[in-house]
């Protein structure tokens, strides 16, 4: 009887390697970081091809003309006349209203443009100057600033964040840093405002980001110097001041010689201020003239339809009509302090690196929602720490980016940047929801809760179309702007309540695991 033949089972085919995206391990760190940076740079270049703020809109044009005009002034006038009304410097026409470091940046860029296209920055005769060559040069000044300041700061932060393993798992620490870098560098609002609308927020935000990286890597003195430079480039960087002050003070108080630690930081801050302000310290009047330009209270408590408390509630309470400037200043200051105080106290009491990042967001949100003279572009400040928390708070960050960009939708439409708006937003969420990304698990919530959460999103989609296709009633010409403001404001309030809660909950967690290593 023949023996039955044993069936031969062929060995299973080796699994095919799945297609990997740049942030999916294994990936060589340096080439991949370079690839992500180049992709972020390419996005900026493509956006910069489009129109800019006030293009062809005489007589005052827009922010592009303001930046060009400041280059003209700083190039041809002595520092003593930069902030003073003279025959060559009409403060009513885009007078310089940023701190001295911003003026020095304008001087540097003015010299670069003057070497290639002097008519673009000629004194008086260049007012409203527009040409393809000047646009190219102006755009390159922003791109180079981004590359020299914001990009290195982002790389430093990601290195410090991952090295410290701040609030993330071992797997996220090993695999998530490239996704985080992409989230920080490809920030839709920053790209559209700096490289579309035309500003230099990348410098002040890059300096602030470098200061944050300095804190996380325990280089507090370097952090103090960088943050002081950020304040001296754009005074809106003060939105982060309570977070920096409370966190560093809390750390100093827990060290062996707290007074010495505080004095070292104070020396660095005062020394940096003195260096930046040196040309204006020859007299009290000169310094006061600069300060008066940095706080334009006469413009009112808000401009346009910004999604903060004062503008959103002005439909019911006519703040500008009921109160003079002085009481409004006191009210806004009090409301801002009360809003950031819980976050401030928590960091003085229990400083930690993760708490510091939450505090940065809570502090900047407090200023955005309640301070005096807030612009819609100021949402960039709370967006920065939100991007730094993207690994920890992925759901929150995606939601925030969408509504932050939505809050600037009327500005984007005025600048004719709708195509760039759609493209950058789509690219961001393509990366955010990509395979291997760290967008997180789905929230385990009820269907009723999902419906409630989807309402503002559906309203925003409807308003996107309505704003472009329908004319508002003649009696209410800014109806759609106001509706966009209301929807965005409601989400910002929810987000700031959530992040304040998360920051205070860190105290409970720290008691169980301890956070002394952050000190």
Q: Look at residue 98 and tell me if it is in a domain.
A: no
> How far is Cα 330 from Cα 395, in angstroms, rounded to an integer?
36
Model pLDDT, residue 436: 59
Domain assignment of residue 253, given as a range: 30-55+130-511
pLDDT at 4 over 90: no
Query: Among 57-61, 163-167, 266-270, 286-290, where is mean pLDDT lowest?
Result: 163-167
pLDDT in tens, 233-247: 999 999 999 999 999
Q: Write down the pLDDT at residue 305.
A: 86
Helix (H) or strand (E) segment spanning residue 345: helix 325-349
Torsion sign, CA atoms 149, 154, 159, 161: positive
Range with lowest mean pLDDT among 121-125, 423-427, 504-508 = 504-508
Residue 219 domain-assigned (yes or no): yes
Query: Does 24 fall in a domain?
Result: no
Q: Is residue 110 one of the residues assigned to a domain? A: no
Tell me the mean pLDDT in the region 100-123.
Answer: 97
- pTM (predicted TM-score): 0.91
pLDDT value at residue 502: 94
Per-residue pLDDT at 10 exceeds 90: no
Res 187 pLDDT > 50 = yes
Q: For residue range 403-460, what is the model confidence (pLDDT) as tens digits?
A: 999 999 999 999 999 999 999 999 999 999 887 565 555 556 667 767 778 899 999 9
Average pLDDT on 36-56 reads: 96
Q: How far is CA 93 from the centre of its chain?
A: 27
* Residues 485 and 393: beta-carbon distance below 8 Å: no
Contact 371, 303 (CB under 8 A): no
Please compute the mean of the pLDDT values over residues 120-131 and round it to a whole number: 95
Q: Please check the confidence at residue 296 and state whether its pLDDT lies above 90.
A: no
Residue 12 lies in a domain: no
How many domains are there within the chain? 1
Residue with tokens 């967006």: 383
Tens digits of residue pLDDT in 302-340: 877 899 999 999 989 999 899 999 999 999 999 999 999
SS3 state at 199: coil
Q: Three-state DSSP class for 162?
A: helix
User: Which of 173-187, 264-278, 486-500 is predicted with the least confidence, judged by mean pLDDT?
Assistant: 173-187
pLDDT of residue 513: 47
User: Which neighbouring-strand residues pair with 374?
Assistant: 302
Q: The dihedral of CA 148, 367, 273, 62: what is its sign?
A: positive
Nearest-angstrom CA–CA distance, 306 and 129: 30
Nearest to 439 by CA among 492, 393, 387, 499: 393
Cis peptide before 26 (omega within 30 of 0): yes
Least confident range of 20-34, 143-157, 353-367, 389-403 = 20-34
Domain assignment present for 177: yes
CB-based contact 67:200 (threshold 8 Å): yes
Looking at residue 30, its pLDDT comes to 87
Q: What is the rounded distance in angstroms from the CA atom of residue 468 to the CA atom of residue 476?
A: 16
In a domain, 61, yes or no: no
Residue 460 lies in a domain: yes
Q: Is the pLDDT of residue 402 over 80?
A: yes
Q: Is the pLDDT of residue 49 over 70?
A: yes
User: How does residue 514 score in pLDDT terms, banded at 50, 70 and 90?
Assistant: very low
> What integer pLDDT is reported at residue 516 of this predicted model?
47
């Amino acid at each position: 009887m023949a023996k039955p033949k044993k069936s031969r089972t062929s060995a299973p085919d080796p699994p095919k390697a799945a297609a990997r995206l740049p942030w999916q391990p294994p990936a060589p760190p340096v080439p991949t970081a370079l690839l992500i940076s180049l992709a972020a740079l390419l996005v900026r270049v493509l956006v910069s091809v489009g129109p800019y703020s006030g293009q062809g809109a005489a007589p005052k044009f827009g922010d592009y003309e303001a930046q060009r005009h400041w280059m003209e002034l700083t190039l041809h006038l002595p520092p003593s006349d930069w902030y003073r009304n003279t025959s060559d410097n009409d403060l009513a026409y885009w007078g310089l209203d940023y701190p001295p470091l911003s003026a020095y940046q304008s001087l540097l860029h003015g010299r670069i443009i003057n070497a290639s296209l002097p008519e673009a920055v000629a004194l008086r005769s260049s007012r409203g100057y527009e040409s393809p060559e000047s646009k190219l040069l102006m755009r390159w000044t922003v791109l180079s600033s981004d590359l020299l300041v914001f990009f290195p700061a982002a790389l430093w932060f990601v290195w410090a964040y991952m090295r410290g393993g701040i609030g993330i798992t071992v797997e996220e620490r090993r695999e998530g840093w490239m996704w985080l870098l992409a989230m920080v560098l490809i920030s839709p609002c920053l790209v559209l405002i700096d490289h579309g609308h035309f500003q230099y927020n990348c410098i002040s935000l890059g300096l602030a980001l470098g200061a944050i990286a300095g804190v996380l890597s325990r280089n507090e003195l370097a952090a103090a110097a960088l943050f002081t430079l950020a304040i001296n480039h754009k005074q809106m960087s003060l939105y982060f001041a309570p977070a920096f002050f409370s966190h560093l003070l809390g750390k100093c108080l827990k060290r062996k010689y707290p007074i010495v630690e505080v004095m070292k930081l104070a020396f660095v801050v005062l020394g940096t201020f003195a260096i930046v302000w040196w040309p204006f310290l020859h007299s009290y009047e000169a310094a006061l003239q600069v300060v008066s330009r940095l706080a334009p209270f006469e413009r009112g408590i808000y401009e346009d339809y910004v999604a903060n408390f004062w503008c959103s509630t002005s439909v019911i309470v006519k703040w500008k009509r009921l109160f003079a400037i002085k009481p409004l200043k006191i009210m806004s200051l009090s409301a801002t302090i009360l809003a950031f105080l819980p976050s401030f106290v928590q960091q003085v009491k229990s400083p930690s690196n993760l708490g510091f990042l939450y505090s940065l967001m809570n502090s900047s949100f407090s200023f955005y929602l309640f301070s005096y003279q807030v612009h819609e572009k100021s949402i960039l400040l709370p967006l920065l720490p939100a991007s730094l928390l993207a690994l920890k708070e992925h759901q929150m960050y995606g939601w925030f980016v969408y509504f932050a960009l939505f809050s600037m939708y009327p500005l984007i439409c005025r600048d004719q940047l709708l195509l760039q708006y759609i493209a950058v937003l789509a690219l961001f969420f393509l990366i955010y929801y990509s395979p291997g990304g760290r967008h997180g698990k789905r929230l385990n919530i009820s269907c009723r809760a999902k419906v409630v959460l989807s309402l503002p999103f559906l309203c925003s989609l409807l308003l996107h179309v309505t704003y472009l296709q329908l004319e508002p009633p003649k009696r209410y010409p800014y109806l759609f702007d106001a509706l966009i403001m209301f929807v965005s404001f409601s989400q910002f309030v929810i987000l700031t309540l959530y992040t304040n809660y998360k920051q205070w909950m860190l105290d409970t967690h720290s008691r169980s695991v301890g956070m002394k290593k952050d000190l």
